């Protein structure tokens, strides 16, 4: 801090003629004279910094991601109970001629969208299961050699914790289903 | 003028000087290469989901700024054109060609890309510092590798803003943990790492699920260093290098254990380092 200030002050004086002298510490001090910033230049920069900090701070307290890139930093922010459950959303597809639905990878390479994206709008997808049609379409497009799924199943595995350790087999819940068209 | 006002003016100047330090333009020139090359890697790997998003317009959940600007959901062709534009402009900007124009062009196209990667539900917070870096870099103006001796307050402000964004990524995540959990000890004594390992942990990390006490200690440690991260803004020399290395190791560990690399923030740590030292002497000397 003081070092920088000193440089700042010394640089305002006429440039010294020792430029080119070795030693990285002296480089800045022996630099050509920097142009001072205009008042406007300083004002808008400090103003923009302040506005951005205010928006970012509001983003946290309003708990919203909406102000991206200055949204809330929510990832892994929610406390999890050591005796609670660990939920993980899954996607399955029923293929013609198969006895049981098959678990698909929940990512852009398989169904065109990431698990996190669907989890972030889970209520909307459960209320509007027709949104799963787009995942079936993406699967078809990305896997031209595989049969077309008959039904898409949005599911959740629930693992019970006891003092932070999992107990029993994960429970499998169906959140929504959609007959593929 | 009374003594107190002089003191106030001095304090004000000190704040201004802190936000706009005189830093070598060459540092910006090197930082720019790192940022713009990384932008290309980012759009091709980490945020490559924009093209698949072109197939799922129904799932578009535009963010505030995207709604304000009436940005429609992306189409597949639109995403491909945008990708090409980002790569071309980033190459120009990294090479320092048409610096202002190429810089702003990246800011606009990459900004749009970010709305399309984040605008489909999940908003990742590892991109905050990178997006801000891309927006502030063009404000520096012309910066060349040979400007090792030439300092600029515009360069200083841009780098300072990136530094602040980096540390606030950690610091505000603690604030958010406090807000979201109501009581920060619930978060620290809870099962967040267990939850993360169960959902996306690597196979080798599964045995740690048998040691909840260790994982809780890890949560406390994370809270402490994330909370203290803003002091890095005031570090110098060995302390600064030490802090940067510490955060790199933290991200390496979360990457190996959970596949969370946080690279967009990681590369912005470069804004803390005297990057002009990377410029070979023969370039630095020609003025």
Residue A51 lies in a domain: yes
Q: Which residues of A touch B74 (CB under 8 A)?
A: none
Give the neighbor-by-neighbor strand order of the sheet with A102-104: A102-104, A85-94, A151-162, A165-179
Q: Which residues of A touch B128 (CB under 8 A)?
A: 69-70, 73
Residues A92 and A71 in one domain: no
Among B54, B191, B258, B265, the strongest candidate for a mutation testing the A interface, having the largest count of A CBs within 10 A, is B191
Which B positions 2-61 lie with beta carbon below 8 A of chain A?
A: 14, 16-24, 48-49, 52-53, 55-56, 58-59, 61
Residues A124 and A61 in one domain: no
CB atoms within 10 A of CB A158: 12
Question: Alpha-carbon distance B23 to B33, whole Å?
Answer: 17
Q: How far is A172 from chain B (nearest CA, A)?
A: 14
What lies within 8 Å, CB to CB, of A99 at 6+ separation is none
Residue B103: its pLDDT value, please?
A: 97
Check CB contact under 8 Å for B52 and A112.
yes
Residue A67 lies in a domain: yes
Residue A103 has pLDDT above 90, yes or no: yes
Check CB contact under 8 Å for A165 and B210.
yes
Residue A20 lies in a domain: no
Q: Which residues of B touch A120 (CB under 8 A)?
A: 61, 121-123
Contact assessment for residue B170 and residue B229, using Cβ atoms and an 8 Å cutoff: yes
Residue A128 lies in a domain: yes
Residue A41 has pLDDT above 70, yes or no: yes
In angstroms, the Cα distances linking B87 to A77, B44, B100, B110, B163 are 34, 9, 16, 9, 25
- Is the ipTM beyond the 0.85 threshold? yes
Number of structural domains (chain A) is 2
Check CB contact under 8 Å for A46 and B19.
yes
Residue B259: its pLDDT value, please?
A: 85
How far does chain A reach from its first CA to its final CA, in angstroms?
A: 65
Check CB contact under 8 Å for A28 and B198.
no
Residue A164 burial by CB count (10 A; 0-12/13-18/19+): exposed, middle or buried? buried
Residues A46 and A111 in one domain: no
Residue A116 has pLDDT above 80, yes or no: yes
Residue A34: its pLDDT value, please?
A: 67
Check CB contact under 8 Å for B181 and A31.
no
Q: What is the pLDDT along chain B (287 residues), one digit of tens a residue?
A: 445 567 777 777 889 999 999 999 999 999 999 999 999 999 999 999 999 999 889 899 999 999 999 999 999 999 999 999 999 999 999 999 999 999 999 999 999 999 999 999 888 889 999 999 999 999 999 999 998 889 999 999 999 999 999 999 999 999 999 988 888 999 999 999 998 998 888 888 888 898 999 999 999 999 999 999 999 999 999 999 999 999 999 999 999 988 889 999 999 999 999 999 998 877 765 54
A15-24, A42-51, B206-215: least confident range = A15-24
Residue A15 lies in a domain: no
Residue B121: its pLDDT value, please?
A: 87
Residues A104 and A155 in one domain: yes
Last residue in a domain, options A50, A78, A106: A78
Residues A60 and A108 in one domain: no
Residues A93 and A174 in one domain: yes
DSSP 8-state assignment for residue B230: G
Contact assessment for residue B153 and residue A37, using Cβ atoms and an 8 Å cutoff: yes
pTM of the predicted model, to two decimals? 0.85
Residue B1: its pLDDT value, please?
A: 45
Q: Which residues of A touch B59 (CB under 8 A)?
A: 113, 117-118, 121, 131, 134
CB atoms within 10 A of CB A151: 16
Residues A90 and A175 in one domain: yes
Question: Alpha-carbon distance A108 to A110, whole Å?
Answer: 6
Residue B181: its pLDDT value, please?
A: 87
Check CB contact under 8 Å for B125 and A74.
yes
Residue A24 has pLDDT above 70, yes or no: no
Last residue in a domain, options A78, A94, A124: A78
- CA nearest A43 in B: which residue? B16
State the residue range of the domain holding A59.
41-78
Contact assessment for residue A155 and residue A129, using Cβ atoms and an 8 Å cutoff: no
Run of H or E residues at A181: none
Q: Which residues of B touch A68 (CB under 8 A)?
A: 63-65, 114-115, 118, 123
Task: Give the count of Cβ contacts less than 8 A between chain A and B.
Answer: 223
- CA nearest B180 in A: which residue? A78
Residue B280: its pLDDT value, please?
A: 83
Residue A23: its pLDDT value, please?
A: 42
Among A31, A43, A76, the strongest candidate for a mutation testing the B interface, having the largest count of B CBs within 10 A, is A76
Residues A91 and A139 in one domain: yes
**Does A85 lie at the interface with B, CB-CB under 8 angstroms?**
no
**Does A43 lie at the interface with B, CB-CB under 8 angstroms?**
no
Residues A117 and A162 in one domain: yes
Residues A62 and A144 in one domain: no
Check CB contact under 8 Å for A88 and B19.
no
Check CB contact under 8 Å for A82 and B191.
yes
Residue A99 lies in a domain: yes
Residue A13 lies in a domain: no
Give, in degrees to the nearest 5, the angle at Cα B229 between B33 and A66: 75
Residue A29: its pLDDT value, please?
A: 44
Residue A103 burial by CB count (10 A; 0-12/13-18/19+): exposed, middle or buried? middle
DSSP result, A11-47: HHSPPPTTTT-S-HHHHTTTSPPPPPPPHHHHHHHHH
- CA nearest B12 in A: which residue? A46
Instruction: Tell how strand A165-179 and strand A151-162 pair up.
Output: antiparallel
Residue B4: its pLDDT value, please?
A: 55
Residue B3: its pLDDT value, please?
A: 53
Residues A133 and A100 in one domain: yes
Check CB contact under 8 Å for B176 and A141.
no
Last residue in a domain, options A29, A52, A78: A78
Residues A162 and A120 in one domain: yes
Residue A16 lies in a domain: no
Confidence category of residue A158, pLDDT binned at 50, 70, 90: very high
DSSP 8-state assignment for residue B24: E
Question: Alpha-carbon distance A180 to B87, whole Å?
Answer: 37
Check CB contact under 8 Å for B157 and A73.
no
**Does A47 lie at the interface with B, CB-CB under 8 angstroms?**
no
Q: Per-residue pLDDT tens for A74-95?
A: 888 888 899 999 999 999 999 9
């Amino acid at each position: 801090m003081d070092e920088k200030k000193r440089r700042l002050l010394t640089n305002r004086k006429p440039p010294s003629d020792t430029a080119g002298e070795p030693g990285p510490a002296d480089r800045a001090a022996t630099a050509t004279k920097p142009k001072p910033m205009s008042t406007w230049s300083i004002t808008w920069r400090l103003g923009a910094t302040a506005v951005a900090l205010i928006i970012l701070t509001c983003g946290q307290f309003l708990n919203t991601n909406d102000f991206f890139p200055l949204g809330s930093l929510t990832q892994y922010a929610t406390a999890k109970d050591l005796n609670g459950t660990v939920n993980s959303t899954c996607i399955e597809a029923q293929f013609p001629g198969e006895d049981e639905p098959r678990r698909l990878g929940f990512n852009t390479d398989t169904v065109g969208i990431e698990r996190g994206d669907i989890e972030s709008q889970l209520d909307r997808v459960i209320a509007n299961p027709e949104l799963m049609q787009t995942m079936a379409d993406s699967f078809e497009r990305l896997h031209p050699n595989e049969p077309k799924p008959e039904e898409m199943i949005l599911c959740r595995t629930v693992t019970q914790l006891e003092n932070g350790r999992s107990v029993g087999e994960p429970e499998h819940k169906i959140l929504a289903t959609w007959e593929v068209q | 003028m009374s003594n107190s006002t002089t003191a106030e003016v001095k304090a004000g100047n000190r704040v201004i000087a802190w936000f706009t330090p005189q830093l070598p333009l060459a540092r910006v020139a090197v930082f720019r290469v790192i940022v713009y090359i990384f932008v290309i890697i980012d759009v091709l790997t980490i945020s490559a989901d924009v093209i698949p998003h072109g197939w799922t317009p129904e799932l578009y959940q535009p963010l505030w700024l995207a709604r304000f600007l009436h940005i429609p959901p992306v189409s597949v062709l639109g995403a491909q054109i945008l990708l090409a534009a980002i790569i071309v402009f980033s190459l120009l900007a990294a090479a320092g060609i048409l610096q202002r124009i190429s810089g702003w062009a990246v800011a606009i196209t990459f900004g749009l890309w970010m709305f399309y990667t984040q605008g489909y539900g999940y908003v990742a917070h590892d991109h905050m510092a990178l997006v801000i870096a891309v927006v502030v870099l063009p404000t520096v103006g012309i910066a060349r590798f040979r400007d090792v001796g030439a300092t600029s307050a515009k360069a200083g402000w841009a780098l300072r803003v990136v530094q602040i964004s980096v540390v606030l990524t950690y610091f505000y995540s603690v604030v958010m943990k406090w807000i979201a959990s109501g009581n920060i000890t619930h978060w620290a004594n809870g099962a967040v790492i267990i939850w993360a390992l169960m959902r996306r942990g690597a196979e080798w990390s599964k045995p740690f699920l048998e040691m909840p006490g260790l994982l809780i200690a890890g949560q406390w440690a994370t809270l402490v260093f994330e909370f203290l991260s803003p002091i890095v803004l005031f570090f110098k020399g060995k302390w600064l290098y030490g802090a940067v290395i510490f955060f790199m190791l933290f991200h390496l560990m979360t990457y190996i254990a959970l596949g969370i690399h946080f690279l967009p923030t990681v590369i912005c740590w470069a804004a803390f380092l005297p990057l002009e030292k990377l410029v070979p002497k023969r370039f630095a000397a020609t003025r």
